[in-house]
Structure 1
Amino acid sequence: MHQRSLIKTVAVVLFGLCIYAAAYTYERLDKNNSVLLVVDHQVGLFQLARDYTPTDFKSNLLAHAALGQVFNLPTILTTSAETGPNGPLPKEILAMHPNATFIKRNGEVNAWDNADFKAAVEATGKKQVIMAGITTDVCTTFLALSLVEAGYSVFVNSDASGTFDTKTATEANQRMRQAGVHVLSLFAVSCELMRDWRNTPGTVQMLPFFDQYLPSYGFLARAHDAAVLNGTLSGLDD
């Protein structure tokens, strides 16, 4: 009886897993249906992000903003109380997007509570939102949850979202995932938007992007170029 009961239990579990797998739909980022949000990437708040080194985090912030340029995404910038210690956006981000919609919030912690910001997102007509912010557990999470509630598919660039420590970041990412938010790396966001190296943006546009913001990948491409030019291929495929 015990063995029969065990077999029945295993069968039920496997059946449930099959149903779950069959029900899953992989939602991929679509560059034609996406808006990029730069949320509170302010020079004062930058000091609170301790889960990355300052050098890495600065690069990640700039890379996030650069996605809008590379993939021609409608981009919305927003800050929180920037005249105080939170500070302004980095000048590099402003230079990338001189004509982007820029919502300067005077008090709302959750950007979705700001009527102008909400209207700007809605006006894009896009249903997928790519976003990152400081801090991960507050400015990023609060907005991401509100966007999901409003019916958007939300993709958080975790590399460009920072907070006080890794524990806080982990808890925030878990909270977002439980609500249906996609939490991805910069590389994953980039590749999912590109989809195919033969596309535009593709190899020609993305390798310089990776060379600047993901140097491990950029230097891999440089090493390949050098080997081809020098005629010193590895010979591993011979």
Structure 2
Amino acid sequence: MTISDRLLTPTNHQLVLIDFEGLMAFSVGSMDVGALRTNSAVIAGASKIFKVPTTVTTVAEKTISGPVFPDIMEFYPETANYLDRTNMNTWEDKAAYKAITSIGRKKIVMAGMWTSVCIVGPVLCAIAEGYEVYVVADACADVSVEAHENAMQRMIQAGAQPITSVQYLLELQRDWASMETYDAVVGLMQRLGGAYGIGIQYAYAMLKH
């Protein structure tokens, strides 16, 4: 059986987390910031479980935007390895561009803030250079619903593929018989998976009776 190359696997893509910082979150109006934090943690946790090469980049972390979400730092605590920029477009920052393109994977999953600025820029640039780009829609946010949705449409029209945070995790797991990652995935979902996580907890508890 051949697996479509349109699907994400742990070995065919990289993840780029962009500007999950306090200042960027303060003015978010397109979604609940608590949900944004949870969804960003899901994809960060997924990338850690499946050993996906991950770049964490910030903008003016020390002077304006502040530290990365603790939910990201839980999985990527090596703050010295974060790539800080002054440029709003990650793709136009020399260090970030080199870090991302040197990984050698032509599929890139991106998420962060704001959708209409710091996500649109690198997504459109990466597509123009021949990369296949996936945008985690529920782990991106903007100052308004309109700003977020218009930015998503602009990227989709350019060829970006929208996905969601739980979809990302489960697309990497793919088979519940894959026991090497099963416990970690289920544990992540029990903690961060909302109603789905409660359902898993319930099923485990009731099956023991």
TM-score in same-fold range (> 0.5): yes
Aligned pairs (5 A) from 1:38-117 = 38-99=17-78, 101-105=81-85, 107-117=86-96
Q: Does 2:169 correspond to 1:207? A: no
CA contact (8 A) 1:57 1:159 kept: yes
Aligned pairs (5 A) from 1:174-189 = 174-189=153-168
Partner-residue secondary structure (3-state), 1:154: strand
CA contact (8 A) 1:129 1:152 kept: yes
In structure 1, the residue matched to 2:177 is 198
One-letter code of the match for 1:83? Answer: K
Q: 1:54 to 1:98 in 2, by over 3 A?
A: closer
Measure how far apart 1:98 and its partner are: 3.6
Q: 2:130 aligns with which of 130, 147, 151?
A: 151
Measure how far apart 1:172 and its partner are: 0.8
CA contact (8 A) 1:33 1:126 kept: yes
CA RMSD of aligned residues (A): 1.8
Partner-residue secondary structure (3-state), 1:93: helix
Consecutive unaligned residues in structure 1, runs of 5 or more: 1-24, 231-238
* Cα distance in 1 for residues equivalent to 2:24 and 2:179: 35
One-letter code of the match for 1:34? Answer: H
Greater mean alpha carbon deviation, residues 94-103 or residues 110-119: 94-103
Q: Does 2:151 correspond to 1:166? A: no
**TM-score for the superposition, normalised by structure 2:** 0.90
Q: Does 2:94 correspond to 1:131? A: no
* CA deviation vs aligned residue, 1:101-140 (integer Å, no higher than 9, x gap): 42110x2110000111111011211111111010011111
One-letter code of the match for 2:146? Answer: K
* Cα distance in 2 for residues equivalent to 1:201 and 1:91: 27
| Percentage of identical aligned residues | 25
The structure showing larger relative contact order (alpha-carbon pairs under 8 Å, at least 6 residues apart) is: 2
One-letter code of the match for 2:190? Answer: D
Partner-residue secondary structure (3-state), 1:109: coil
Consecutive unaligned residues in structure 2, runs of 5 or more: none
In structure 1, the residue matched to 2:97 is 118
CA contact (8 A) 2:53 2:103 kept: yes
CA contact (8 A) 1:158 1:184 kept: yes
Q: Does 2:202 correspond to 1:228? A: no
CA contact (8 A) 1:71 1:201 kept: no
Measure how far apart 1:220 and its partner are: 0.9
* Cα distance in 2 for residues equivalent to 1:206 and 1:182: 23
Measure how far apart 1:62 and its partner are: 2.0
Measure how far apart 1:92 and its partner are: 4.1
Measure how far apart 1:95 and its partner are: 4.2
**TM-score for the superposition, normalised by structure 1:** 0.80
Measure how far apart 1:227 and its partner are: 2.2
* CA deviation vs aligned residue, 1:188-228 (integer Å, no higher than 9, x gap): 11121222111255432211111122121111112212221
Whose Rg is larger? 1
CA contact (8 A) 2:107 2:131 kept: yes
* Cα distance in 2 for residues equivalent to 1:199 and 1:153: 26
